[in-house]
Amino acid sequence: MLFLLTSCLIRPTVLEPAPKELQSKLKSVNWDVVEKEATEILVEYIQTDTTNPPGNEIAGAEYLSSVLAKEGIESKIVLSSEGRGNLIARLSGSGEERPLCLLSHIDTVTYEAEKWTHPPLSGHVDEQGFIWGRGALDMKSMGVMELMSMLLLKRNNISLDRDIILLAVADEEDGGTGMQYLTEHHWDELNCGTLINEGGLGLEDAIFPGQNMYPISVGEKGNVWLRMIAEGNSGHGSTPRRNEASEKLLRALEKIQAIPETTYIYPVLGQFLANVGAHKGGLMSMVMRHPGLRNLLVKSKLKANPLTKAAMMNTIHLTGLGGHNRPNVVASEVFAQFDCRILPGVDPQEFIAELETIVGEDVRFDVLAARRGNQSTMDDPVYRALARYAVAGEQDAVAGPVISVGFTDSIYVRPKGTKAYGFMPVLLNEKEMNGFHGVDERISIENLRNGTRKLYSAIVEVVSE
Ligand SMILES: [Zn+2]
């Protein structure tokens, strides 16, 4: 039985330890000094208002540029539209490889200040060692980790086999216009071979209590945003008649609700689970590696969590309804709005065509957005280095690849042949996670310090000659 099972097992990723000469390059850094510096920079960066809308990212770009200038690193600011600043800074390497790009977004989402313990733009540092403010997690902290990595590469005279480009862009949270603009108008100078961006991050107790999980995003689902519209006769609310818009919409919605939910563990997720199981060892190692056993024993648990469930399927999410809103008037047009997210490999047009067949001719779709998901290979030195340093020094921790359910700016660069990996090297508990787009966003100084160390170490491993 065991023999038969092993024939179709997924192998967990094995991470080799970092070579000795590399470890000495990393030892020269005084992390106490880095911690203090990174904290000061993050506080000032949070205090620089880049709330989107309106964004005004030029203020954030100018701030980062001033920090780089003190170190003798030149940068330039490109405007994607008025006030929407995007920063490009470069450390030159030997050009053996295409550049490694470190991407973050400057803008932050809005906030309801009255609900916060400390004002969202204060950058308040509390006695427990947390830095508070909008962007503390999403994603000014990672912007600072990337910036610090640039400073450290320069200070430590690391000779580079490629250019390192720091990119801090506008408008990720609202329209993605910053990175889109750079991809369309400045690609010749960027030409990122690999890109590190937000995406995955470390979570405490995510599957097994006590185990820290570090998912690294290697791909992103595509998005299909639809407005389903029904038209019919208008009239007086006192008299129900046939051929009314709301009735048609309701029937179409019932058909969509009746679509069976198909979840599956796609290869990337399978690899992640194999890594988790291998780390756990024993029977769990076998279960997590074997597709059949895994479906039987683990899938239901994954389906119970909305996030992991969404990761295993093409979602058709009804996010709103609209139309004429007077109770005594029959609306001649009503609509339902959907945010659908499709796994890499699914064609958006085919997906829409299937929906059209299901709902029939009583309604029509306006397509607001239709974009493919995409994915980078896991067989890559940058991915491996991120995975290695994600778990470095931790007893019960595991790293592995995932496909993000939402998209980031990485989705624009993969079609250019760039390998993009989403990973913010921090470890958060559930309470801290609520800070993303929520109230009381904050990051511990410990996370800022460790994150900078992990990111810098991974970069040095990959690019130093
Ligand atoms: Zn973000």
Q: What are the distances in angstroms from CA 215 to CA 179, 222, 300, 388?
A: 24, 19, 20, 12
pTM over 0.85: yes
Ligand 1 centroid–CA 327 distance in Å is 41
pLDDT tens, residue by residue, 319-330: 999 998 789 999
Q: pLDDT at residue 1 above 50?
A: no
**C-alpha of residue 105 to centroid of ligand 1, in Å:** 7
Cβ atoms < 10 Å from Cβ of 365: 18
Ligand 1: distance of its center to the CA of 68 in Å?
22
Q: Which of 22-26, 28-32, 155-159, 215-219 has the lowest mean pLDDT?
A: 22-26
Mean pLDDT of 182-190: 97
Integer Cα distance of 52 and 168 in angstroms: 15
Distance 351 CA to ligand 1 centre (A): 27
The 10s digit of each residue's pLDDT in 7-58 is 345 666 666 666 677 777 788 899 999 999 999 999 999 999 999 999 999 9
CB 374 within 8 A of CB 219: yes
Q: How far is the CA of 40 from the centre of ligand 1 (A)?
A: 21
What spacing in Å lies between the alpha carbon of 106 and ligand 1's midpoint? 9
pLDDT tens for each residue of 47-92: 999 999 999 999 999 999 999 999 999 999 999 999 999 999 999 9
Q: Determine the pLDDT at residue 422.
A: 98
**Cα 142 to ligand 1 centroid, rounded to whole Å:** 10
CB 386 within 8 A of CB 217: no
Q: Is residue 3 very low, low, confident or very high in pLDDT (cuts 50, 70, 90)?
A: very low
Contacts of residues 30-38 at CB distance under 8 Å and 24 or more positions apart, as own/partner, are 31/449, 31/453, 34/148, 34/152, 34/449, 34/452, 34/453, 35/445, 35/448, 35/449, 35/452, 37/148, 38/144, 38/145, 38/148, 38/448, 38/449, 38/452
Cα 167 to ligand 1 centroid, rounded to whole Å: 14
Q: How far apart are CA 396 and CA 391, in angstroms?
A: 8
Domains delineated in the chain: 9-212+401-463 (3.40.630.10)
